[in-house]
Amino acid sequence: MDFNENLPIYMQIMNLIKSKMAAGEINGGDKLPSVRELSKELKVNPNTIQRAYQELEREELVFTQRGMGTFVTEDIEVIKNLRKNMATDLVNRFFMEMKKLGFNSTEVKNIVLDWIEGEERE
Amino acid sequence: MKNIVEIKGLTKKYFNKVALNNINLNIEEGRVVGVLGPNGSGKTTLIKILTGLLRQTAGEVFIDGKPVGVYTKSIVSYLPDRNFLYKWMKIEDAMNLYKDFYADFDEGKFNDLLTFMKLEKSMRIDALSKGMHEKLNLSLVLARNAKLYILDEPIAGVDPVARDQILDAIINNYNEKSSMLITTHLVRDMESILDEVVFLKEGNIILQGNAEALREERGKQIDDIYKEVFGEWGDSNA
């Protein structure tokens, strides 16, 4: 993974894990890799991984069990909310960019509808 | 947290030239600190003082609470930026030399590192490529159970595959009880493994801090901050 965004690396790692949770690649109750494992995999300082896990815990997306590791929350509502928030963020960004390009709401709506139709035809 | 390194008011002059000017720096246990700066900024002078190869003009340096001397040399593992092994040696001879010299040399760890680096004990030093040299030297240095590892330009001049192996070896051998001080001007490749960064320019620390805090505060990567800070110098190595 390349950490080229202008965001602190721990946030980029949080976003990576959040995406996997939202996409259902990792599910409620799943164990996350240990700090050391993820550090090796991503080639990132272990203290940075630790920080990412701490922040995820603060957001109540994961929990730590002493001596066992870090686990994804079992609260389905929390994961549902996470998905919804991530979707809202994406849509907001999309609309902002489209506005910058000079599209009005109707045009955007038609583009989106066309795209969905195309997708369904495939 | 405990400081492994404490540097207070460190100054080094070569006759009239000031190589280091009133440097203050602490390194906590379990931290990886990057000392960043172009050639001639004072990085190597700083390292030579920490390893006892040079004496400071003024100021104090403590490693694990002791002034630089016999004890600190026994707990500091140093990777110089040049080759330090005899050409007639095989890798096995180099290992034996380290075993004789350093009580904290861990042969098992060395063997694991060799395997990881795809090197063989029967290889001759003078037949190694630059990347293999660097990998061997790093294996020797990391195989010691030291409190402080000092790595001077560990990835300079090696190809991208060897570079990745070297970075992996550094991360795999990280432990909470030791610290690492790494000098580099290849910031992009190294920045994700650094906890803290120190920018050295003409012997002065011009910026210092937690790498994540700097990224957050400036909305930039350390590599971009480096270019901003040193850009006016047009350092082509950066």
Distance, CA of A16 to CA of A24 (rounded, Å) = 13
**Across B142-165, average pLDDT:** 92
- For an interface test with B, which of A47, A49, A50, A51 has the most B Cβ atoms less than 10 Å from its Cβ? A47
CATH 3.40.630.10 fits A9-74, yes or no: no
Question: Closest Cα of chain A to B168: distance in Å?
Answer: 7
| B49-74 pLDDT per residue, tens | 999 999 999 999 999 999 999 999 99
Distance, CA of B110 to CA of B94 (rounded, Å) = 11
pLDDT for A119: 85
In percent, the amount of chain B with pLDDT more than 70 equals: 97
**Which residue's structure tokens are 């799943």?**
A30
| A55-107 pLDDT per residue, tens | 999 999 999 998 899 999 999 999 999 999 999 999 999 999 999 999 999 99
Of B31, B192, B216, the CB nearest to A3: B192
CATH 3.40.50.300 fits B3-233, yes or no: yes
pLDDT for B92: 96
**Which residue's structure tokens are 């937690």?**
B210
Question: Closest Cα of chain A to B33: distance in Å?
Answer: 11
pLDDT for A67: 87
Q: Does B209 touch chain A (CB under 8 A)?
A: no
- For an interface test with A, which of B116, B170, B215, B218 has the most A Cβ atoms less than 10 Å from its Cβ? B215
**Could you give the ipTM of this predicted complex?**
0.77
Distance, CA of B36 to CA of B39 (rounded, Å) = 10
Pairing of strands B17-28, B3-14: antiparallel
Domain ranges of chain A: 9-74, 77-121
Set of chain A residues whose Cβ sits within 8 Å of the Cβ of B212: 8-10, 48, 51
The tokens describing B117, both together, are 């680096």
Distance, CA of B144 to CA of B133 (rounded, Å) = 18
Q: What are the start-end ranges of the E strands in B55-156?
A: 58-63, 66-67, 76-79, 148-152
Instruction: Write the CB contacts of B12 (distance below 8 Å, at least 6 apart in sequence).
Output: B18, B19, B20, B42, B45, B49, B54, B56, B57, B203
pLDDT for B236: 47
pTM of the model: 0.86
Of B30, B195, B216, the CB nearest to A8: B216
Q: Could you give the 3-state DSSP secondary structure of residue A26?
A: coil
Q: Is the pLDDT of residue B130 over 60?
A: yes
Contact B174 A39 (CB under 8 A): yes
Of A7, A44, A51, the CB nearest to B193: A44
Q: Is the pLDDT of residue B138 over 50?
A: yes
pLDDT for B232: 63
| B77-113 pLDDT per residue, tens | 999 988 889 989 999 999 999 999 999 999 999 999 9
Q: Could you give the 3-state DSSP secondary structure of residue B113?
A: helix
Distance, CA of B180 to CA of B198 (rounded, Å) = 13
Contact A6 B215 (CB under 8 A): yes
Contact A43 B30 (CB under 8 A): no
Tell me which of A42 and B157 has the higher pLDDT: A42
- At residue A1 the predicted structure's pLDDT band, cuts being 50, 70 and 90, is low
DSSP B118: T
Distance, CA of A38 to CA of A49 (rounded, Å) = 7
Contact A45 B192 (CB under 8 A): yes
pLDDT for B148: 97
